[in-house]
Chain A
Amino acid sequence: DTGVSQNPRHKITKRGQNVTFRCDPISEHNRLYWYRQTLGQGPEFLTYFQNEAQLEKSRLLSDRFSAERPKGSFSTLEIQRTEQGDSAMYLCASSPPSGGSTDTQYFGPGTRLTVL
């Protein structure tokens, strides 16, 4: 396994611009998660996919955020009209189709977003 990969690793943008991040999970992992981590905090759950279906979204995920996983493989997270409060590390994790609630999530290195 090559692990979970995320691109880009860093993104600097101006307020009001749109940004898109990509996550490639470990192959054959059907579950994919997005988390957001701000400075001095632990990661916070944003959304969850099983295959291509988005099954749960946090209230943290405002209307400006949208996530997709069109073919059940890679996923994208788009933020429209970015705000300075969106500055954070965006983490992706994947897990295999096995244990359900007991499965282990494998995290990628994250995309650090800075909104100027």
Chain B
Amino acid sequence: AQSVTQPDIHITVSEGASLELRCNYSYGATPYLFWYVQSPGQGLQLLLKYFSGDTLVQGIKGFEAEFKRSQSSFNLRKPSVHWSDAAEYFCAVGAGVTGGGNKLTFGTGTQLKVEL
């Protein structure tokens, strides 16, 4: 069965500093990988996804992630954090389900705090 580990429960960075959120996955086949962000009172919003091809993927809001098969990792990065980036970030791996579609397995999340 697939699994996702996000080793950092909380991270605090200063506004303008760079950010890296770690994600390690376990999956037997080619992984479909996602990063979502969740703000209080709002649903999960997709930041970026990886299916195949270029291992460095660009997402919305200036985020990027790099897929490293050898390390089973899919870390999320941003060169300069803004105060509005404070939220909870979830990494997920997708597995196919009967009839098509995609069952997501999420990590436990990383809560990002941004200091002004």
Task: Please tell me the number of chain B residues within 8 Å of chain A, measured between CB atoms.
Answer: 30
Confirm or deny: A100 has a beta carbon within 8 angstroms of a beta carbon on chain B.
yes
Q: Are A42 and B101 in contact (CB under 8 A)?
A: no
Interface residues of B, dominant DSSP: strand
Nearest A residue to B44 by beta-carbon distance?
A107
Q: Verify A100–B96 contact, CB threshold 8 A.
A: yes
Interface size class of A (residues with CB under 8 A): 20 to 34
Cβ contact of A43, chosen from B41, B95, B104, cutoff 8 A = B104
Q: A51 to nearest B CB, angstroms?
A: 9
| Choice from B36, B42, B46, B97 contacting A109 with Cβ under 8 Å | B42
A49 to chain B, nearest CB (A): 9
- Chain A residues whose C-beta falls within 8 Å of the C-beta of B63 in the assembled complex: none
Whether A56 and B103, one on each chain, are in contact in the complex, defined by CB atoms closer than 8 angstroms, is: yes
Contact, CB under 8 Å: A95 / B101 = yes
Query: Could you list which residues of chain B lie within 8 angstroms of chain A, going by C-beta atoms?
Result: 4, 32, 34, 36, 41-46, 49, 51, 90, 92, 94-109
**Which residue numbers of A lie inside 8 Å of B, CB to CB?**
3-4, 31, 33, 35, 40-45, 48, 50, 53, 55-56, 91, 93, 95, 100-110
